[in-house]
Amino acid sequence: MKRKAAMVAMAALLAVSLTACGGSGGSDKKDSSSKESSGGEVANKDKPLVWFNRQPSNSSTGELDMTALNFNKDTYYVGFDANQGAELQGTMIKDYIEKNIDKIDRNGDGTIGYVLAIGDIGHNDSIARTRGVRKALGTGVEKDGEINSEPVGTNADGSSAIVQDGTLEIGGKSYKVREYASQEMKNSAGATWDAATAGNAIGTWSSSFGDAIDIVASNNDGMGMSMFNAWSKDNKVPTFGYDANSDAVAAIAEGYGGTISQHADVQAYLTLRVLRNALDGVDIDTGIGTADDAGNVLTDDVYTYNEEERSYYALNVAVTADNYQDFTDSTKLYEPVANQLDESKSATKKVWLNIYNASDNFLSSTYQPLLQGYDKLMNLDVEYIGGDGQTESNITNRLGNPNQYDAFAINMVKTDNAASYTSLLQ
């Protein structure tokens, strides 16, 4: 009996020792799901990584950088369907012209003239949006199997080889469509998608073309609103942008022609959700296509996943005078995925996340506030880094100690430069 009691005591002592050291199978599982940030316990090269807003790709050809997209097994891209959105923007402009043809031709010359603000000639989204407008209006010229997306500079007489005059048949009458001018909105410091540059450009264009400009098109709302406030609004020229920023949506009531919602609420959710799932070691579809324990789930009409590209894409919605009141708050979380996760199952983890340009209207005014709404719901402690929009080093210099983070969300300045970040995680 004494020997048996001694054996029991020794077993109990051993159990306590194993529990304290994390040695038992059951306690191991419990500990890994409930402890806080374990940044230093996983090699940086193995930590979850999501690229967002700027897809790793060749800025000249658009070819995806599959090395960056396959950096490790927990690497993904989150963005939106650029081609679908680009075609939607072009169609939105074309539909507006057709519905308002009786007043759209301001000087009555039978030509629908437009000018186009291009965000970044090396950015896939910018390229797609330029092509989308030109395709819809019939002004596109094919180059290497795709519509040429280069800026024309000025094209007063329609002789540019980059674009052509298009034709729209409306109400039994034929109208010529001409792209009078387009340029990349790049400031003297090198920052692209620059709103101030667009505001200056519309001043130059309006001086050159005056009432021959019937439509103003822009690759995004930041540039679109700059042109609208500087000239279009006072001259009652419909201006079309992209992003559904709150100020642009509100401006539809004042004559802004329309914009495209790229479902930033869904994108921001996906940006953090794929990291959360990887950190928790659960199926990547959890809380996305498959409901999680909190009831978060997305339907397939708001996103799509391309497994080969390891990319999640939110789908786009046209925002016009018919529906703009449904989009007035661009920072509102998407209700079907706004449920708090259980911290006992999804413990607090630390994430390093950068915005390529702290001055970018869409990212700073819409995307980041959405991220900051979701991070708490997902028990993620996110450190937000704002770049200057010009150099990767302005951002990468602030990732001096990746060991202290559990995951990374990266928004590059240039789509070619993924290696500037992954080299820090090797």
Tens digit of each residue's pLDDT (9 = 90 or more) over 17-73 = 333 333 333 333 333 333 456 566 899 999 999 999 999 999 888 899 999 999 999
Residue 87: inside a domain: no
In contact, 171 and 117? CB cutoff 8 Å: no
On the question of pLDDT at 4 being above 50, the answer is no
For residue 19, tell me if it sits in a domain: no
> What pLDDT score does 195 carry?
97
Q: What is the pLDDT of residue 7?
A: 39
User: What pTM, to 2 d.p., does this model score?
Assistant: 0.77
Q: Are residues 174 and 227 in the same domain?
A: yes
pLDDT band at 134 (very low <50, low <70, confident <90, very high): very high
Q: Over 70: is that where the pLDDT of 320 sits?
A: yes
Based on the fold, state whether residues 172 and 202 are members of the same structural domain: yes
Task: Please tell me the predicted confidence (pLDDT) of residue 39.
Answer: 66
Look at residue 346 and tell me if it is in a domain. yes
Instruction: Tell me: do 114 and 67 sit in the same domain.
Output: no
What is the spatial distance between Cα 298 and Cα 302, in angstroms, rounded to a whole number?
7
Q: What is the pLDDT of residues 227-260, one digit of tens each?
A: 999 999 999 999 999 999 999 999 999 999 999 9
Helix ranges (DSSP H) in 35-186: 66-69, 82-99, 101-104, 124-137
Percent of the chain with pLDDT over 70: 91
Rounded Cα distance between 214 and 204, Å, is: 15
Strand, coil or helix: what is 120? coil
pLDDT at 332 over 90: yes
* CATH number of the domain enclosing 230: 3.40.50.2300
> Do the domain assignments include residue 359?
yes
Window from 9-18, 176-185, 396-405 with minimum mean pLDDT: 9-18
Residue type, 223: M
251 in a structural domain: no
Q: Are residues 139 and 67 in the same domain?
A: no
Same domain, 280 and 421: yes
For residue 73, how many other CB atoms are within 10 A of its CB?
10
> What percent of the chain clears pLDDT 90, i.e. is strictly above it?
88
Q: Which domain holds residue 298?
A: 35-80+264-313+323-425
- The predicted pLDDT at position 6 comes to 41
**171 burial level (CB within 10 Å; 0-12, 13-18, 19+):** exposed
As for how many domains the chain has, the answer is: 2
What's the whole-number mean pLDDT along residues 414-418?
Answer: 96
| Residue 328, amino acid | T
Average pLDDT over residues 288-310: 97
DSSP-assigned beta bridge partners for residue 311: 77, 306
pLDDT tens digits, one per residue of 67-117: 999 999 999 999 999 899 999 999 999 999 999 999 999 999 999 999 999
220 lies in the same domain as 290:
no
At residue 197 the predicted structure's pLDDT band, cuts being 50, 70 and 90, is very high
Q: What is the mean pLDDT of residues 333-345?
A: 98
Same domain as 381, residue 290? yes
- Specify whether 68 is located in the same domain as 114: no
Q: 57 and 177 share a domain? A: no
Whether residue 162 lies inside any domain: the answer is: yes
Query: Tokens 């990732």 identify what position?
Result: 399
Tokens of 66: 């599959």
Q: Tokens in use for 68? A: 């960056």
**E strand segments, 268-422:** 303-306, 311-314, 317-319, 349-355, 380-386, 407-410
In-domain check, residue 2: no
User: Could you read off the pLDDT of 342-395 as tens digits, one per residue?
Assistant: 999 999 999 999 999 999 989 999 999 999 999 999 999 999 999 999 999 999
Q: What pLDDT does 5 receive?
A: 41
Query: Would 9 be classed as within a structural domain?
Result: no
- Average pLDDT for 202-223: 98
Question: Do 124 and 161 fall within a single domain?
Answer: yes
* Domain shared by 144 and 191, yes or no: yes
With bands split at pLDDT 50, 70 and 90, how would you rate the model's confidence at 290? very high
Does one domain contain both 224 and 273?
Answer: no
Q: Determine the pLDDT at residue 124.
A: 87
- Tell me the pLDDT of the chain averaged across its residues: 91
Whole-number pLDDT of residue 38: 59
